[in-house]
Amino acid sequence: MSNATELVQKLSQLPICRGLTQGEAGVLFEIAEETTAPKDAKLFTEGDPGNTLLIILEGQVEVTKQGQSLAKVGQGSVLGEMSLLGAGGTRSATATALTDLKLLRVQAARFQKLVHDDNLAALKIVANLAQVMSRRLLMMDEKLIELLDEKSKKKQELADFQRILSDWSF
Amino acid sequence: MNTAEATTWYFKKAARIMDVGERIETLLLSPLREITLQVSIELDNGEIRTFPGYRVQHDNSRGPMKGGVRYHPALDIDEARGLASLMTWKTAVVNVPFGGAKGGIAVEPSRLSGKELERLTRKFVDQTQDILGPTRDVPGPDMNTNPQVMAWIMDQYSKYHGHSPAVVTGKPLDLYGSKGRDAATGRGLVFICKQILGDINLPLKGTRFAVQGFGNVGSRAVRLLHEEGAVLVAVADSNGGVKNPRGIDVPALFEHAKKNGGLQGFDGGSPCTGDEVLTADCDVLLPAAIGGTLTRANAAHVRAKIVLEGANGPCTPEADEIFEKKGVLVVPDILANAGGVTVSYFEWVQNLQHVTWEEERVNAELEKAMKDAYERVAQISRNRKLPLRTAAYCLAIGRVGKATVLRGI
């Protein structure tokens, strides 16, 4: 078992813990449980109910969707943060251990209880999550517009020309 | 602005009116292939001379590429490129199934002997035969090249590819040439003239016309218009000419030209220069000499109601604009003088089928092709309120564009 103080310190450096005091990070640590996973283990699979947050303490994880690799993440990265918001949804992607892993697991239900009790640490984390999410959403929007633009441009020039030719009824 | 540059200018004017977009403009304007050669021959005196040669193949979406081979010291790749594109639009306007090409050799042929010219022509074919052919690129006569040069081209090409009369047009009548090819451009002009006069309710008989240039095109047109009862009031070649408001005696004029090798000194009127012909008091002006003779400087003084472009590019774009403002009807080169390439197409068809058409058939088919082309251009001009030239370019862009899109980019 790792040194608890050290872990709390590491936790307070995570993006979702930004602005938390060491004491507030300790609150998150209290509801978390340390766990391990061997190489090649599936941490969760696309479509599973999403009810835990995973924090990678050691090792590497690959995130895939429909067989396509989306990202490789390592120490300090957080998986399944959406579940903390109580969306009650399912996993949007699959996470597979690329190496042996050390993880912190947080039960969403326990976190949501803290939110419900107006725990300052939990509320700060929710605010941080909202920021992370909105940044991601923005990036996705931009990517989407880029893709739509590219597609429509390619099709439009010939189609426009054909329309002009038929308008002029040559 | 030379004829090649003017062609691009007119093309862009039409393309912008159609709003086809910059990338489609580039697609349609860019040549398929252009080559530059060094054509070397041994002169009769043993000297070795090297001349630059060119062939630009502009577009083949509508068929094998078609265009003249000219021997002229001023020819360069830019000129060839512009004139190749002009051929693409011209063949499209008269709807013959050809694309456009142009080329030749930068040489002053009058300085070469017949034998030297033959060696030069054969060498040019040696260096281009792999890109020519009845289904690829079909050359024809142009400035300073004639049926004899076409015969050499056919012969040299046939050494590589077997008997191939359809590789070139404008051949001598005794060697797979077409009846009616000689007079085709002039005859085509007269068909167009009748059509446009009909549109403004004027009979050809009694119409007063002036002609600049008395070469193949000008002289044929003069003879045919005279036969139709039109009245020639001014005519000149590069050395001079004659004007007579009461009408020039055309048979006597031809006799004089035959005897003297030119129009200068003909006494059936007062002497006049080529420039004066352009501003003569007449109904129809036929510039049939060289390009760029009607400019910003003289266009305002033109008194004709109709300008029929017998030459390629006689009106500069500036002159064209002045005519548009003045209400002078300009029948553009790509329509007016397309009779030549139309009968070249008939020659190619006869060669491919190993048949010979009678002249009556050639002329009848030519009349139909010219009338159809004029009707389509006039219709676009009326419906879209565009000058005939812009309408003709729009029609050409439409036909080439359709073929390009259907075949796939």
Task: Please state the rounded mean pLDDT for residues A18-36.
Answer: 87
State the span(s) of chain B assigned CATH 3.40.50.10860: 30-167
Each residue's pLDDT, cut to its tens digit, for chain B (409 residues) gives 888 899 999 999 999 999 999 999 999 999 999 999 999 999 999 999 999 999 999 999 999 999 999 999 999 999 999 999 999 999 999 999 999 999 999 999 999 999 999 999 999 999 999 999 999 999 999 999 999 999 999 999 999 999 999 999 999 999 999 999 999 999 999 999 999 999 999 999 999 999 999 999 999 999 999 999 999 999 999 999 999 999 999 999 999 999 999 999 999 999 999 999 999 999 999 999 988 999 999 999 999 999 999 999 999 999 999 999 999 999 999 999 999 999 999 999 999 999 999 999 999 999 999 999 999 999 999 999 999 999 999 999 999 999 999 998 8
CB contact at 8 A, B34 and B59: no
Å between B94 CA and nearest CA of chain A: 13
Task: Please state the rounded mean pLDDT for residues A20-46.
Answer: 89
Kindly tell me if the per-residue pLDDT of A132 is higher than 70. yes
Å between B20 CA and nearest CA of chain A: 6
Looking at residue B56, its pLDDT comes to 98
Confidence of residue A86 (pLDDT cuts 50, 70, 90): low
Nearest CB to A164; choose among B19, B380, B395: B19
B395 close contact with A: CB closer than 8 A: yes
Q: Which of B66, B90, B102, B305 is catalytic?
A: B102
Entry field: residues in chain B: 409
Q: Is domain A4-130 given the CATH code 2.60.120.10 in the classification?
A: yes
Confidence of residue A1 (pLDDT cuts 50, 70, 90): very low
DSSP state of B102: E
Nearest CB to B18; choose among A157, A162, A168: A168
Query: Which residue in chain A has the smallest CA separation from B92?
Result: A170
Check if B102 is active-site: yes
Which of A165, A167, A169 is the best mutation test for B, with the most CBs of B within 10 A?
A165
Alpha-carbon radius of gyration of chain B: 21
Residue A63, C-beta contacts closer than 8 angstroms, at least 6 positions apart: A69, A70, A71, A72, A73, A79, A93, A94, A95
The beta strands (E) that lie in B182-222 are given as: 208-212
Q: Which whole-number Å values give the CA distances from A134 to A94, A123, A128, in the listed order?
A: 22, 17, 10
Å between B398 CA and nearest CA of chain A: 6
Cβ–Cβ of A170/B395 closer than 8 Å? yes
Query: Which residue in chain A has the smallest CA separation from B22?
Result: A157
Query: Rounded to the nearest 10 degrees, what angle do helices B388-407 and B359-384 cross at?
Result: 100
From chain B, pick out residues whose CB is under 8 angstroms from the CB of A161: 20-21, 24, 401, 405
The sign of the torsion formed by the CA atoms of B122, B126, B128, B131 equals positive
State the span(s) of chain B assigned CATH 3.40.50.720: 184-336
Stronger pLDDT, B264 or A13, i.e. the higher one: B264
Structure tokens at B233: 């009031």
Nearest CB to A164; choose among B20, B399, B409: B20
Å between A146 CA and nearest CA of chain B: 21
Cβ–Cβ of A165/B405 closer than 8 Å? yes
Q: CA nearest B253: which of B221, B282, B206? A: B221
Cβ–Cβ of B401/A165 closer than 8 Å? yes
Nearest CB to B24; choose among A157, A168, A170: A157
Task: Please state the rounded mean pLDDT for residues A42-58.
Answer: 89
Structural domain boundaries of chain A? 4-130
Assign domain B184-336 one CATH number from 3.30.360.10, 3.40.50.720, 3.30.1360.80, 3.50.50.60.
3.40.50.720
Instruction: Give the B window 224-253 contacts with A, CB below 8 Å.
Output: none
Mind giving me the DSSP string for chain A?
---HHHHHHHHHTSGGGTT--HHHHHHHHHHEEEEEE-TT-EEE-TTSB--EEEEEEES-EEEEETTEEEEEE-TT-EE-GGGGGT---B-SSEEEESS-EEEEEEEHHHHHHHHHTT-HHHHHHHHHHHHHHHHHHHHHHHHHHHHHHHHHHHHHHHHHHHHHHHHTT-
CATH superfamily of B30-167: Leucine Dehydrogenase, chain A, domain 1 (3.40.50.10860)
